[in-house]
Structure 1
Amino acid sequence: MRTLQGTVQYVQPRSKLLPLLRSPLLGELLAWLYLHPEKDYSVTELAQLLHVSASTISREAGHLAGSGLVLERRRGNLRLLRADVGHRLARPLTELLALSYGPAAVLADQLSSLNGVERAYIYGSWAARYAGEPGPPPEDIDVLVVGEVDEDELADRARAAERKLGREVNAHRVSVSAWRSPGDDPFLGSVRSRPLFEIGDPP
């Protein structure tokens, strides 16, 4: 679970979003690579993005490259990684990742260029599964955007994310002051009492 302070804790080692995977980190790493197949990521970029050490990413990348799911090349001292879209498993794997860990990667893209965003979180069932709580796969994705953003633009970004993720994205906007001092607001009280995943900027 990514807390309000932006740190990462994996409550349980096995993924609850995609139980075929041994860890949430592997799901996030694969989602960033396979949902951005046109981009090379350095080990350092991925480590910063996923809030883990470069050695952890390097170790995972070695396993994925050995299986043929990830391509790697060197540019000077940089070790660059990208999804192998020519792999026979690439298409079904991309679909699985979009339905499981895709929201973290796709929403970061959609919201990073939206003016007025101070913070953004995924809440609800997706955040609960990410945090390790057992339960059925999320039917939709709930997003809370903190800041002064244009509601029409936010709705457009949500629809764009839906097309890539293949599921409904519900975006809700609140002001910075309301988020900092929710008072007796039952909605914000409920959101803050449950797991939250903070959406970060793409590297």
Structure 2
Amino acid sequence: MQARSSLLPLLRSPLLGELLAWLFLHPEQSSSVTELARQFGVSQSTISREVSHLAAAGLVTEERRGNMRLVQADVGNPLARPLTELLTLTYGPAAVLADLIPSVPGVDEAYIYGSWAARYTGVAGPPPRDVDVLVVGEADDDDLAEAARKAERQLGREVNVHRVSAAAWRSPGGDPFLTAVRERPSYRIAQPGERP
């Protein structure tokens, strides 16, 4: 059993927070149970069980197309707006940055680190005030700054992007900042070509 969510302690698990954030921050999009299981790295039965609980509570709608089960946030539910606000402030960085960062040309890898990643991995502390992102690759700084501005508008908080070359990231030792990022909790953002 997963540990209780540290980002939103009302939730029984980080997976539930990620799933809800993905659905409610992409309300126009239907996702299959298979896609969601792959995206979150869990079994289809785990996602199916979570979706069944959410559907029974009226938070999501389901549609069957053959043997495919599609799920979507039920934005008509009276809880949708306040729930979306809570999810934006807590699990929003994972969902929003997974859309924006991998689409920037030249991004090889990207990670959220710092206070948000610490809370995500269960380290106790106050709610994060900003989001720190490490981008590995040769992406243009202006493109990354634009992605950060878009994320800030959606998340309502500062997004700090730090870019390093692939060689610097893979170099052992060397830079104390990169060593610290490698050793502390981080959250891997979907990479280019992966479905966030």
Report TM bin, short chain.
Answer: over 0.9
- For structure 2, the 5+ residue unaligned runs are none
Distance 1:135 1:23 in 2: 17
1:11-35 Cα shifts (integer Å, max 9, x gaps): x610000011110000000000000
Match of 1:137 among 103, 124, 127: 127
Q: Secondary structure at the match of 1:122?
A: strand
1:36 equivalent to 2:26? Answer yes
Hey, what's the Cα distance between the residues in 2 that align with 1:183 and 1:58? Answer: 43
Aligned residues: 193
Counterpart position of 1:158? 148
Quick one: distance in 1 between partners of 2:169 and 2:103? Answer: 21
TM-score under structure 2 length normalisation: 0.96
Q: State whether structure 2 residue 163 is matched by structure 1 residue 173.
A: yes
2:98 — aligned with what?
A: 108
The residue aligned with 1:26 is: 16
Is the CA contact 1:120–1:198 (under 8 Å) kept in the aligned structure 2? yes
- TM-score with structure 1 length normalisation? 0.93
What is the CA distance between 1:77 and its match in structure 2? 1.2
SS of aligned partner of 1:52? coil
Which residue matches 1:71?
A: 61
1:83 maps to 73
Identity %: 70
Q: What RMSD in Å do the two structures reach over aligned CA positions?
A: 1.1
- Contact 1:112–1:202 at 8 Å: present in 2 too? no
Amino acid at match of 1:170: N
Note the residue ranges of structure 1 that are not aligned, 5 or more in a row.
1-9
- Aligned residue number for residue 15 of structure 1: 5
Contact 1:182 1:188 survives alignment (8 Å): no
